[in-house]
Amino acid sequence: MIDEIRGNLTYNLKRVENLVSIYENHPDAQGQGRKPAELLDILRAGVVLLHASLEDVLRKIAYWKLPSANPTVLDNIPLVGLGPIPKKFLLGELAVFRGKKIDEIFTLSIDAYLEKSNFNNTVEIAKLMKDVGIAPAKVNAKFAELQALMERRHQIVHRADWQDEVEGSGDHVIRHINKQEVRGWADAVNQFAGAVFAEVVALG
């Protein structure tokens, strides 16, 4: 499983780097001066893909490890089919699971829970690490960079990267972005994931 997750990340990071390379080799990206917002959208797409790559790692680790998590962690995951909020249920509500093993019910419930999950800040990442048995302090060296990445992705996806506090028109009301930022965030994702993989392997 770990090799599959690592392989997917490697491939996704190559996709991000490909977008950065497309940007830097574009004729309009050459020379000094502020580049057009439309051209920089290639880098913004890289940020969105990079965040998705990070979430893919986190979600797959969760799919893999949460079914064997301790009961206090599982208490925060609702039984599949009973809504998004964990709650007590009656015996009759288990009737739909006749013939299934307990592990299957765990997996179904966790899968349904993770289908609607996302990771928008390092607090949520740290919580997941604890839930799967990894001490956040062992993998948080790049949390500042990851937080910056996630905040920028939110700005791009939900506000189209506009700056409300800046007056004027045209490119200057769109937040600037550069290839060094994107590559720096990609490196942070890669290093964070490497630390997580090492801890997962150590857990067995």
The count of other CB atoms within 10 Å of the CB of residue 3 is 8
Comparing CA positions, the residue from 2, 72, 12 lying closest to residue 48 is 12
Give the residue with greater pLDDT, 88 vs 22.
22
163 occurs within a structural domain: yes
Q: Residue 34 half-sphere exposure, CB side, CA atoms within 13 Å? A: 11
128 inside domain:
yes
Better-scored residue on pLDDT, 45 or 104 = 45
Structurally, how many domains does the chain consist of? Answer: 1
Mean pLDDT calculated for residue range 178-202: 96
The mean pLDDT value for 66-81 works out to 81
Amino acid at position 146, single letter: L
Model confidence at 179: pLDDT above 60? yes
Q: Is residue 8 scored above 60 in pLDDT?
A: yes
CA dihedral 204, 125, 140, 133 (to 10 degrees): -30
What average pLDDT does this structure show over 112-134? 91
Q: Taking residues 135-148, what's their average pLDDT?
A: 98
- Provide the pLDDT for residue 7: 97
- Contacts for 167 with CB less than 8 Å, ≥ 6 apart: 173
Confidence class for position 39, pLDDT limits 50, 70, 90: very high
Looking at residue 55, what is its pLDDT?
96
Contacts 24+ apart (CB under 8 A), 31-34: 34/171, 34/172, 34/176
**Average pLDDT in the chain:** 89
Q: Is residue 105 part of a domain?
A: no
State how far Cα 110 lies from the chain centre: 17
Please give the angle made by the CA atoms of 186, 159 and 35, to the nearest 5 degrees. 60
Question: How high is the pLDDT of residue 168?
Answer: 53
What is the distance between the alpha carbons of residues 177 and 161, in angstroms, rounded to a whole number? Answer: 10
- Identify the pLDDT of residue 79: 79
Q: Is there a domain that residue 79 lies in?
A: no
pLDDT score at 166: 52
CATH number at residue 135: 1.20.120
Dist. CA 164–CA 66, nearest whole Å: 41
Tell me the residue range of the domain where 40 lies.
2-60+119-203
